[in-house]
Every structure is written in structure tokens, then in C-alpha cells.
Structure 1
């Protein structure tokens, strides 16, 4: 039996893509692990994985990656994992739409353009697309509005892919990812802060820790256990089309499945300490 192949975007060390690459490798597959900066996947190369430079927002970079895989596999690919993603933590009132557009270029349009480019290889092997989504696509977690919207788009796009590519036997799986312990926030180039002119500035001591990920890893799932579950599902004869996994995944599934969307109006204010934020803002307004 020919060795199965998988291409994964966003495999920088310490993240979800890194863990997925290792897990697929343990399954005996040939793994093409990609990243914008090859130095961040050097450890995977040393483990025997193929590493590929890829910027999912750059058409030339995508085409070069496809040609690399095509030459190595003879024109087939069994699994494509769209994992690359950017975060953007900021209140919507303070957001910069140009930054949000760059995030959508990676989180949403990158998923489509990479899939378009690899489609002939996937069709040749009746392969599987795995899009790494987020429970935040179903949950209005404050200060993450644009990111949440990008993941909501990925969820719908995955369902679209599954239907539109079914004539060729290509599958599409959405992984609704909950809280996972990774180096995501540790690897941020700059710690998110509120601009001084923000209407929320009086509550910066409450909000800024949340922007930097404080509390996110409470009840979070180990990234290697997460990766193993994702790979095990993908390699089943009948994989789940929507895999819910990680911290808060079960609660989010219940809320979205049974129409309990109003539960977020009850739970999220307490989670972000909204009463304290409101009090600080109103106190500052009275002083003015």
C-alpha cells in the first residue's frame, strides 16, 4: 500500500500545526509541514518530515508549494490541513479594518486559495480537507470580534467545500477547536494594548490581560492529545464531519445545536468581568 501523504499549513513550533504534523508522522504518513519561516519548522525536518516554505496569502508561494508536493508524490495528496491563522484581539470600536483584512486574507481567503491550488492532487487521491476552525465561530467572545467572524466564515466554507467537492469523492472536515494549550499568545510579536483614546481605556487593567490571553488556557486541552484526536478522526473510514474538541467545545456544541445562543449573554459577562468594566467606565465618565 502506498504511503499516505498530508500537507499542513502553519506548523511553527509549539502550535497546533506542529502537533498535527508530529501526529500524522507517527501514523506513518509522509508529512509536508509548512510555515512562512522555515526556521520555525527546522525541528520537524530533523525528525524526518518534509518542510515547505509557504505564505498562504501569497499566490506565488502557494503555487511553488503545490509544485514541490506534486513532484514528490507524483501528483496526489491524501490530506490537506488548513491550519494557518492570525489572531486580532481588540474591541471592535478600536479595531483597524486594514489589520482585520490582513487577518481575513490568512484565516479565510487563504483556506480557499490553498484548497483551490491543491484540489487536483486531492481529487486524484479522493483525499480529505481538514479545516481547523474554532468554537469562537459560534461564540461572541468579546474583544475577538473579527477573529470570531473569520472562524464563522471558515465553518460555512468547510460545509460548502464538502458539498461542492463531493462529485470527486473529496471529503471536508471542520474541527471546531476549543481552548488548547499552545504557544500562540507567547509568540505574539507585541502584547495587545488598548489605544489611549479608547472608550474602554478606564478599564484597561481588566481588559488588557484578556487581550493577551489571560485565562484562555484554564480547562484547556493538551495540544498533543488534541492533535491525536484530530488525526484519529480524519483517518477513520467514516470521519465526523464536524469534530468538536478542546476546552468549552462541548458547551458551545450544546448552545449552537439546541439554539441556546442567549446563554452567552448570561455566561460571557461574568467570564470577562463585565460588571467591573462597566463600573470603571461609568466612574470615569462621572469624573469628567
Structure 2
């Protein structure tokens, strides 16, 4: 299934995308798509619904983050061999872990707002993993069964804040709007080979990133197992698993996002995001 949350920010309704690509309303069946709806049992129940029996949604509504009430937004750094090579850094012996503030979450096509004073905001297309059942000290072999599904993540990063402001990656990762997720959550049963997914990202129509999850240093099960040693992973937690080569910080000359830029990115079978880059706005 492709599960979505559509509508205005804070007013999203649950839905699904049928086999013809039509958006169907699930609000008559469930109140939302949150942690309670992500277990294998809950997802099986939803999968038995005939999509044609659900109301079709007219128009082209906004797609919000496909999971409500995300508890943790976790990132894995430097997890592609080619990305490590372009950054001239050694391959990590263990996953590099950082946190993205949940306040950075935004819908797949929502604008990316440059952080106040930003000079080095960068792009990073990534495979997102959504946890479906609690994982604590799970083995690599057991890890997959704790996954509800997969999605596209743009791990937008302010490189100056990340690398030049005291060494705390979180400061460059958690800015408002720096975590677009979606457009939908594709359930685990429909992603047969998460280790063989093509990823891409364009800025203003120019291809910047092209890669495959085959190039990952640590696989999805390894990441889930590793994280579960240090923190309990709860249903609804989102993990961004690293980015392929082509980030702006590695280009010669370096290229960072500016007001008016337009990003388009996606992962095979998991959908596409499109974001306008706008200047900082005080709410």
C-alpha cells in the first residue's frame, strides 16, 4: 500500500493511493496514520480494504508527512561509499548517528525555507525507514520485521551550522522545513529489495545526485539493529539512511541552495518530491 496524509498543515486526513494512482480517502476507516496504524496487524487490516470502495479525493491536495506524531527523526551520516569518497573521508567503521528535530518535518512538496542567516544550505536525497513495532536490542536478522515501510526523505542540511559551529551536526540538520518526508509511505511488503533502489535529485532541472542503495555502507537491517542498541525505536520513528554522491558541499566549486531554487528528487517506487526554496520568514 501507499499510505498518505493529505490536506492543510495540521488538518491532514488519512488516505491511500490506489493501483491507478488515484487518491482515496481513509478517514471513514481510521482517524489518522500514526503509530497505532503501523503494526503488521493494523496494516494487514487496511490492506483488506477494496480501494474502489473508498471515496475518491478530487483535485490535487497537499501531501503532508505520511506519518503523524513522529517521535524521533534519526539520521545516518556518510553511509554511501561514493559519498565518503567525494568528501575525501574514510569509510565509517560504525554508523554515524545524528538527530533531526521533529520540528524540521514537512510535506514532500512544501517549500524549503532557508534558515535565518544561512549561507550553505545543501540537499540530500535519502531512503527513509519508518518503524512499525518497537525495536530494542534486535538482531540484524530480526530488524526487518520492525519496519512498517519506506519513503523519500530530503535531509536538507545547513553545512556551516553542521561543520563550523562547534561540531554538533544536529544544529545544521534540524532547521524548520529541513526534513521533507513523503509523498507517501510504501509498506514493507511492496518494497522487495530496499538494497537496490535508485535515487536522484535535481536542482533547477540539473541532475545533482544519482545513486543506488546498493552503494550503502550499512544496510537498512544493520542500521535498525545498530540504533536499537542505543535507543528504543518506537512506532512512527523515521530514519534517514544516508545520501549518495552529488551534494553541493562536495562540488567544485561548492554549490548551495538560494532563494528561487527548485528541487526535484525521488526514489524508484517510492515517489517524488518537489520543493521551492524560499527565504527565511518569521512566523
Which TM-score tier does this pair reach, normalised by the shorter chain? Answer: under 0.3
- The normalised TM-score by structure 2 is 0.25
- Which one has a bigger Cα radius of gyration? 1
Structure showing the higher strand proportion among its residues: 2
Structure showing the higher helix proportion among its residues: 1
Instruction: Using CA pairs under 8 Å that are at least 6 residues apart, name the structure with larger relative contact order, 1 or 2.
Output: 2
- The normalised TM-score by structure 1 is 0.24
